[in-house]
Each structure stands twice: as structure tokens, then as C-alpha cells.
Chains A and B, each alone.
Chain A
Amino acid sequence: AAGVIQSPRHLIKEKRETATLKCYPIPRHDTVYWYQQGPGQDPQFLISFYEKMQSDKGSIPDRFSAQQFSDYHSELNMSSLELGDSALYFCASSLLGFNYGYTFGSGTRLTVV
């Protein structure tokens, strides 16, 4: 079965650079969620989209932005990267209103040096 695809798997950036993380949800899933997980921490919700519109916002820094495109894939854009942005970034997708669990991708490991 198709899963949530995230790219790239690993990314190394320097401070003050920008990064773009991509998420391809399970086909027909209409909702995408982004989470950040720092070393030794629990996943923290950043932002979500339903039908290409932002549906909820968590502790996402102003330096980050995200959007969901017409094909339902989503991108998380991160600018002016800081060392503290080094983390695992997970994307999850779901089909709103149906009795399914959320499916998470394998994540993108971002290292800021």
C-alpha cells in the first residue's frame, strides 16, 4: 500500500540558509499535518492543511511557511535557518471524516551547521 512520502530523507544546511521539505500524502487523503521532533523530544505540531487551506496552526516559527498544492502534496519552507531548527520533520496525512488513523511519513532529518 502507498505510504506518505517525504523528501529529502536527509538535508544539511548552513545557518541562515533556506530549506524546502516536501510531503506526498497517501492518494485521496485530503489533510496534511507537519510535525517537528527535536533530539530526545516528542513530536510538536507545526501546521495542517485541509483541501489546500490551512486548517490549524501550532508552534510554527514565523520563518517557516507551508502550503498544500492542487495535487495535495505539501511543502514546508524554512528560511533563515538556525541551529535549533535541526530536527526530524514528519508529515502525516489523513482522510477527514473517515475512521482511519493518521499515517506518518518516515521524516526528513534536517541538520543545520
Chain B
Amino acid sequence: DAKTTQPNSMESNEEEPVHLPCNHSTISGTDYIHWYRQLPSQGPEYVIHGLTSNVNNRMASLAIAEDRKSSTLILHRATLRDAAVYYCILSRDYGQNFVFGPGTRLSVLP
């Protein structure tokens, strides 16, 4: 399975943008890039996913490098409720289980 590398932790100020990086240098051409987040004592929550093109939804944006070896999850205006562990996960196709790595623990300061 292709692996991802994320910083252990990041800090952001409330109402500022946050860029969460993910390296996946061994990604294959058919791997989707998924982002999930997990708040304390809750199940992981879907944030966004993409294949090659940048993606936007109401929660975040996903910027994918041209060579697809890295991606960045962008939270446009961080709120206190965005404090969570963010996981970047590769999946070959739908139906394949997700392998959760350590993720990035995001702290949002008021």
C-alpha cells in the first residue's frame, strides 16, 4: 500500500487559513487521495477526496500537485470546531479499506 507522510501537529489561529500538507511519493496512477478528520471521541468524518484535479466543497479545498506526489488540504477559515486529527489516506479504488496513519493534530487558537 502506498504510504502517506504528514506532520505530527500544526497550530493555527482562529479565522485564518490552514494548509495541511501530505506527501505520498509512492502514489500510483489509480490511487485516490482522501482526507478525513476525527474529533475527540467521535468517528472519523469525511472531508474531501480527489484523484488528479483540485477539488472544492463546503468544508475545504484539496490542492493536488501536478505529479500527484503531494497534496494539501486547505481550510479557508479555521474555527475552534476544526480542531481535530486530520488523516490523509490513499485508496486504490472504492471498496478498499482505508489505512489510517498517524495524521496531523490541528490545534486552533482563539
Contacts and interface: CB of A to CB of B under 8 A. Distances in A.
Given A42-B102, A43-B100, A104 B94 contact: no
* Main DSSP-derived SS at the B contact region: loop
Interface stretch (B8-16, B39-47, B63-71): B39-47
Contacts, number: 58
A42 B42 contact: no
Nearest to B95: A96
Contacts of B96: 56
Interface in A85-113: 88, 90, 92, 94, 96-98, 101-107
User: What interface size band does chain B fall in?
Assistant: 20 to 34
Interface residues of A, number: 27
B98 A42 contact: no
Interface of B: 34, 36, 38, 41-49, 87, 94-103
